[in-house]
Amino acid sequence: MATIIDQLKYRYKNGDVLVKFIFINIAVFLVLKIINVIFVLFNIRVLELITFLGVPSELSQLLNRLWTLFTYMFVHEQFWHLLFNMLWLYWFGRIFLQYFSGRTLGSLYILGGLAGAFLYILTFNTIPYFVGLGHSWMIGASAAVMAIVMGAAFYRPNVQLNLLLIGQVRIIYIAIGVFLLDFLSLGSGINEGGHVAHIGGAIAGYIFAWQYRNGRDITGWVSKILDGLANLTKRRPPRRKTRMKVEYRRAETDMEYNERKHNEQAEIDAILDKLKQSGYSNLSSEEKRKLFDASKK
């Protein structure tokens, strides 16, 4: 048992942002399930803990639980809800990380979750049909995941996934299909808040890809906030006096990092096209080296 826990700790510590988000979602699910079992066994009658983590549509309640705008996107009540969200996050998250940094993925996840929550609150307080449903609360990572799906799909629409029984399909068609399913499900009486939140996250992902192509990163402000929170939890090492001359280099910005990854991927794509047309023997030594290095990543 200790070995398994140590392995999980190692995977979490050394994993990228995508792995950490999946671990957090699973951990929250398990902790809530364990607490629920304890409450049932000992007849502890309290309001469901999950309602204090889900985002409410009622404005007065929301003002007293502002933290739910963030916590809801990591909370799942049903196993299948968690499973499908994490599978979508993993599949499209891996595609996303081919062109963007983990920092950008984490920021878009948060931004998509916030967009889904705000659209959910707005519609349930303004649109007559949703107002008539009464106040409710919402949980799940679906809106955040949809932002990743749409961000990847509209930034690199020609990337393909191999679907069972269907074959190769461009991710742009998958993203549009999922969006249409959510939109056409409005008014069905089934998971109304969820469908609204999915649309909010999808819109955030689309705007991200569209703006990024125009040289603007709409997740920048989220990244700054997350960096500030991360710095608060870090212990500053004691200052040491040194006479050694140190050369400081400016770290890459997210835009520079993502642009470099995009250029590297475009170069690899060109080499692969040449490989298909002319064969491996016609590649230059430099092209072979780059292809070999890319295969190890």
| pLDDT tens profile 110-124 | 999 999 999 999 999
Who has greater pLDDT, 238 or 258? 258
Q: For residues 40 and 231, what is the distance between their CA atoms, to the nearest angstrom?
A: 40
Query: What is the pLDDT confidence band of residue 238, given thresholds at 50, 70 and 90?
Result: low
**Residue boundaries of the structural domains of the chain:** 2-231, 254-295
Query: What is the pLDDT confidence band of residue 272, given thresholds at 50, 70 and 90?
Result: confident
Note the pLDDT of residue 248: 46
* Pairing state between β 55-56 and 137-138: antiparallel
Q: What is the pLDDT of residues 222-235, one digit of tens each?
A: 988 888 877 776 66
Q: What is the pLDDT of residues 61-78, one digit of tens each?
A: 999 999 999 999 999 999
Query: What is the pLDDT confidence band of residue 216, given thresholds at 50, 70 and 90?
Result: very high
Contact between 141 and 73 under an 8 Å Cβ cutoff? The reply is: yes
Q: What is the CATH number of domain 2-231?
A: 1.20.1540.10
The average pLDDT across 165-179 equals 92
Q: For residues 140 and 76, what is the distance between their CA atoms, to the nearest angstrom?
A: 5
